[in-house]
Every structure is written in C-alpha cells, then in structure tokens.
Structure 1
Amino acid sequence: MLEKNSFGNVDPSPVCLVAVIVSFNRLSHLKRGITAVLSEPVVGVVVVDNGSTDGSREWLRGLDDSRLRVLTPEQNLGGAGGFQVGFEAALESFNPDWLVCFDDDAQPSPGALTNFMKNDLSGIDGAAAAVYYPDGSICEMNRPSWNPFWHAKLLVKTVFGAMTGQSREGFHLGNEYYQSESSVDIDSSSFVGCFITAETVRRIGLPRGELFIYGDDIIYTLSLRQKGGRHVFLPNVRFIHDCSTFSGSTSSCYSPMWKAYYTYRNGLVMYRIASGAWFPLVLPVKLLGWVLAVRHYNEKRRYLHLCWSALRDALRKHPGCSHDELVRRYP
C-alpha cells in the first residue's frame, strides 16, 4: 500500500509528453498556463475551449506555435467531456508516450515537466503531481488518496476518523509525503497535474465524458488501479492551482439544483468502483444523506425527483438526459 521508491535522477530516454488543458472563461489563467507549458519540453499542447465568451478563443487563434492544437466544441462538454475529447485528440495528433492534464486555472511550476521526465518512470501507468496554492500551501482539493476499501487498516482508520469528523485524514496523503524524497503508490488523484501513459489510455479507455463535472478524475484514476495499473505520487513534480474562485460555500443545498445530480450520480459511480462488494452497505448511507438534505430545499418534490434520477442513472450505468435538459429540469 505504501511502497516507496526513490527518485531515479538518471538520464532517461526522451519522453514524448503532451499536455491537455480544459478551459472555460478564465483567460488570464489560461495565458499563464499555456505560457508555462510551452516553456517546457512538451511535443504538444491540446486546449479544449468549452465555449468561452471572455476572449479566450480569439486569443488562442492568435497563437503561433506548431505544438498547439485548439479544440472548440459547439457546446460546453464540462470538464469530463473536455478531457475525453482532449485525450483523444492528443493520441491522434501527437502519438505521445505520456499525457498530462489540468484545468485552465492550474499550471506546472517552472521545471516541473522536466523534473517529471527525469524520474524513473518504468513500470508506472499514472502519476500525480504535488499541487500547491499560489501562496505555497498544499492545495487540499488536489491531495491524492488511497482507497480505504482496498486497505483494511485504512478502512478502520477512516471509520474511526468519521466519528470525530476527520475521515479525510484516514485515506488522504499527509503533509510528510509532500516533503519526501521518494514517490509513493496511490489509488486516486485529481486531474490537476495528472500524468497518464498513452498505452494506459488506450487500454482502459478515455475519461467518461457523460460524467460532465464532479468526480470524473477520481473515477478515472480508481479505474486505472482497478484494472491493474500503477499510480504514484511524485512530490518533486510541482503544480500551482490558483483556484481561489472556488471558495468554500456555507450553503446546505446546491444552487443551481442540477449540480446536485452530478454530485450524487457520479458519487455513486465512484463508490461502486471503490467499495466493490461493500457497495450494498454504502448505498443506503449515501441515500440517507440525500433524503435528509431535502429539508434545505424549497422545491422538495423537484429535489426528490432529482435524487431518484441520480440513483436510477448510476445503478443502470446510464448517462441520463442531456446537460441542457438537466439544467431545464433542475434550475
């Protein structure tokens, strides 16, 4: 579970690395991210612009770099859909060894991608960077983790932690791993500074675009591990995530309501993969939480219908209705 490996500071064969960036209406962040990536030894950069209206598309059209490919879907595909088409385009256009993906408000620290290439990557299918806020503190939303259902000791620790409101500490990497000089095997990570071999993508498939937003990265990296892949945390590869716009909300309900659908449905998809045979025990606990949350909503009937739709679509492995229809039903 916690197998560690020293960094292989050797002169490896050249790594063909392509970056995939999904963007939506954050032009200033996007400029910094693309500038940072193009200053590194990447063979290609695929940018998926999800219908930006802030001048991003116009700025991207003005760039002159043979390594850059810009995709402009006719509709917003969400983060998951963006990474799906971005991964596919990267494989077709550049035939890389590795992909690295992140959102438009993230960027590699100077030298991060060069450091990645200097690691001993043999036997590794995926890798997660150490992600920090611009002020240098660890970015909590991008902290990699182990799946407690696959590790008995972690499961016990997580259960006891839940009793004291500290369940995250049971399965997320502690700060000491960020200071380590060794990599460590993990089970899941976010799509900010996530590296995947092209061979792995071809073997396990593209990210699931129908998930749209929320949990698609955890689902993908858990699937990588479930299918026998090896995923590691590389603390010497640093990314910066300027996600200050995602300040924590104190609201007890989702607004707009459609966001609850993606959170609930995708959460069940994730727990089904993570918990395996334990899923019949996990499901009632999650459903109870949904039902108890109804008290926070004015439109209780509409909210409960959303819960039913999320449960139905998760269990039958169906993508459900289109995003536009979902927004119409649950504004």
Structure 2
Amino acid sequence: MNISALIVTYNRLDKLKKTWAASKLLPFNHIIIIDNASTDGTADWLGSLDDARLSVITSPKNDGGAGGFYCGAEWIAKNIDADWVMVFDDDAYPTPDLLDTFDKIDKQGVDAFATKVITPSGMRCKMNIPWKKIPNSLSEIISYQKNDTDFVARNNDITPICTFSFVGLIIKHDVLKETYYNINKDLFIYYDDIYYSWYLNSSGFKLVYRPELVFIHDVPESDITPPPWKVYYLVRNLLLSFKIFNNNRPFSHISILFRVFKYFLMVLKSQSKINFAKAIFLGIKDGFSKK
C-alpha cells in the first residue's frame, strides 16, 4: 500500500513537533508539509529535518487551512504517485497502529474514509464528527438538538457519511487528483472540508466512517467561545454556500438561519461583545456580497 501524508501548519511549532514525531514513525511513502508562511521558527525547524520522505512546500502568505489543503492537494496530484492520501492539521496525529489497521480493512468501492477523531484524553472530538445526514428541516433541527443519533456517525459503527473533516481524512489519490480544485481555498478556514466532502458525496463518490481508524486532535475539550475573527469566517463562509452551491447546498435556509442565530447567542459569552457582534455583521455582509 502506497500512502502519503499531507499536513498543513501555521505558527504552531510546538504542536507540529508532536505531529511530526508521531507521523514519522508510520510507514508513509511521502510526507508533505505545507507551511503557511509561519513566523515562529517553523521554516528553520522544518529545514533541519532529515527524512527522505519529507517535502516541505512554503506558501508566500498565510492562506489558512483551506488554502493550505488546496495547495497540498494540488502538489500531490501533480507530483506524487500514491494509492491513498491522509490529510491532517498540525495539531493532530495518527495513532501508531492506524496504517496497519487501514491496510487490513475492506476498501472495496470506497473513495474516502473518515477516522474516529478523539482528544488526547480519549473523548470524541465534536468538531470532527462526520454527518451522515445534515438536519435541514425544522423538525430535523429540533430532533437533532434532542438526539443526534440519526444525523452523525455513531461512535463505534461503520457508517456511510455525506461529509467529513480534514482531520484524519484518508482519500484515494485518484479521487483527490480528479477533484482537488473543488477545495475552496478562498474560504480560509471553516466549512472548506464540509463543502468539499458534500461535493464528493453529491457527485457519487462513496464516503465511509471507520471507527477503528483513530486520530488524535490536540484541542481543548471544553466548549470555548471562538474569537471574533474566527466567528467572522464561520458566518461568512456559511452564507457563501448560496453562491458556491446554488440549489444543491448542504444547509437549508432555516438551517443557516439557526446557525447564525447560535453565533449571535455567543455574543453573550464573549469578553469582547462589541467586536464579536461586529464580526458577525461583517460576516453577514461579506457572505452576501463577496463575488
């Protein structure tokens, strides 16, 4: 099995070191790291690494996760011959037995796999749970709030899915090569993986969640209100789905309205309420006006 790793990093050298330490132990044929113009010494550290499998691609500017994954996918499509590509951020890393486990599972007819993503303490990472059905009607949204069983991949069940996260994604090289230009690099962060996987699923590619494939995501385990600049992208990119997908959107009007309303509720928890509210309104403006 020929499998390559794609890692995107920006100014998180301490976490990147942990990710590299875990990744280099696995039998990847190639390890590609996209450095999004880091300013914290990442470039010098990457330059000191001695591993024939490693290719470092330095972006002239920080294009966010979306731009980084687009850049890496394009580079792999044009320069690497592989069977599969594993995709992850600089704060995530595969468990030691992941590739051995992946080698043994039935891959027939599957174009991309989502792994089970957990925190270092073993809790399931909420932000990386794949959708098997997005709740889009009012009744579905209410049902989802009460019990998400019908909508997300269950913890320990093999599940067909309609979206995945870019943390722990394993995708066929040929599929990535054919479709990478559908990774919307202009999104910067948030929804880039949701929109790309929605496109794949809508185009007939088969996506499956496999719980025996485990990834670690080193993120806070408690709910933390994001800073205003992140909320801007959450709102803007959600509304950009109207232009990106036309009628075949992953989120309905009512689902988008519900999500934006939830972001407004975050204002109450924010320590910078005025800036938080401004970020939401700017996200709404740019989400509807951006060409």
What TM-score do the two structures reach when normalised by structure 1? 0.75
After TM superposition, the structure 1 = structure 2 runs for residues 238-249 of structure 1, keeping only pairs within 5 Å, are 238-244=214-220, 248-249=223-224
Equivalent position amino acid for 1:195 in 2: I
Shift of 1:98: 1.2
Deviations 1:174-219 (A, max 9, x none): 33xx2x4xx3211111111001112212332332111100111111
Query: Comparing 200-209 with 56-65, which one deviates more in the overlay?
Result: 200-209
Question: How far did residue 306 of structure 1 move?
Answer: 4.2
**Alignment pair present for 1:261 and 2:261:** no
Give the match's secondary structure for 1:39: coil
Alpha-carbon distance in structure 2 between the residues aligned to 1:156 and 1:305? 27
Q: Provide the C-alpha distance between the structure 2 equivalents of 1:17 and 1:73, rounded to a whole number of angstroms.
A: 23
Deviation of 1:281 after TM superposition, in Å, equals: 4.1
| 1:54 positional shift | 2.4
Is the CA contact (8 Å cut-off) linking 1:50 and 1:76 kept in structure 2?
Answer: yes
d(CA) in 1 for partners of 2:254 and 2:88?
30
The reply to whether residue 187 of structure 1 matches residue 158 of structure 2 is no
State which of 245, 251, 257 in structure 2 corresponds to 1:285.
Answer: 257
**1:219-234 pair list within 5 angstroms:** 219-234=195-210
Alignment of 1:298-313 (within 5 A): 298=274, 304-313=281-290
Please name the residue that 2:61 is paired with: 75
Supply the AA of the counterpart residue of 2:153. Answer: L
Return the match for 1:196 from 155, 171, 179.
171
CA contact (8 A) 1:80 1:209 kept: yes
Letter in 2 for 1:189: F
Alignment partner of 1:173 is 2:163? no
- What is the deviation of 1:260? 3.4
| 1:161/1:75 CA distance change after superposition, 3 Å | same
| CA displacement at 1:168 relative to structure 2 | 4.3
Aligned CA distance change for structure 1 residues 204 and 23 (closer, same or farther; 3 Å): same
Alpha-carbon distance in 2 for matches of 1:22, 1:213: 12
Residue 170 of structure 1: how far off its partner (Å) = 4.2
Is the CA contact (8 Å cut-off) linking 1:144 and 1:186 kept in structure 2? yes
Equivalent position of 1:122 in the other structure: 108
Conserved 8 A contact 1:185-1:232: yes
The 8 Å contact of residues 231 and 263 in structure 2, kept in 1 or not, is answered as no
How far apart, CA to CA, are the structure 1 residues paired with 2:46 and 2:250? 47
1:215 maps to which residue? 191
Q: Percent identity?
A: 32
Unaligned runs of 5+ in 2: none
* Structure 2 residue aligned with 1:327: none
Offset, 1:295: 8.0
State the Cα distance separating 1:143 from its structure 2 match.
Answer: 1.2
Deviates more, 1:101-110 or 1:38-47: 38-47
Measured after TM superposition, the shift of residue 234 of structure 1 is 1.2
Rounded Cα–Cα distance in structure 2 between residues aligned with 1:35 and 1:302: 37
Amino acid at match of 1:28: D
> How far off is 1:161 after superposition?
2.2
Other-structure match for 2:143: 161
| Secondary structure of residue in 1 paired with 2:274 | coil
Q: Note closer, same or farther for the CA distance 1:247–1:51 as it changes in structure 2 (3 Å cut).
A: farther
* CA-CA distance at 1:122 after TM superposition: 1.7
Change (3 A) 1:307 1:118: same
- Report the Cα offset of residue 250 of structure 1: 4.3
C-alpha separation between the residues in 2 aligned to 1:69 and 1:29?
Answer: 19
Which range moved further: 126-135 or 273-282?
Answer: 273-282
3-state SS of 2:248 partner: helix
Q: Secondary structure at the match of 1:135?
A: coil
SS where residue 74 of structure 2 aligns? helix
Q: How has the CA–CA distance of structure 1 residues 16 and 274 changed in structure 2, closer, same or farther, with 3 Å as cutoff?
A: farther
Residue type matched to 2:141 in 1?
Answer: V
**1:10 corresponding residue in structure 2:** none
Cα drift, residue 104 of structure 1: 0.6
Counterpart residue type for residue 66 of structure 1: A
Structure 1 residues 166 and 273: CA distance shift in structure 2, 3 A: farther
The residue type paired with residue 262 of structure 1 is Y
Cα RMSD of the aligned pairs, angstroms, is 3.1
Q: Contact 1:155–1:170 at 8 Å: present in 2 too?
A: no
Unaligned runs of 5+ in 1: 1-14, 319-331
Amino acid at match of 1:289: F
22-31 or 259-268: which moved more? 259-268
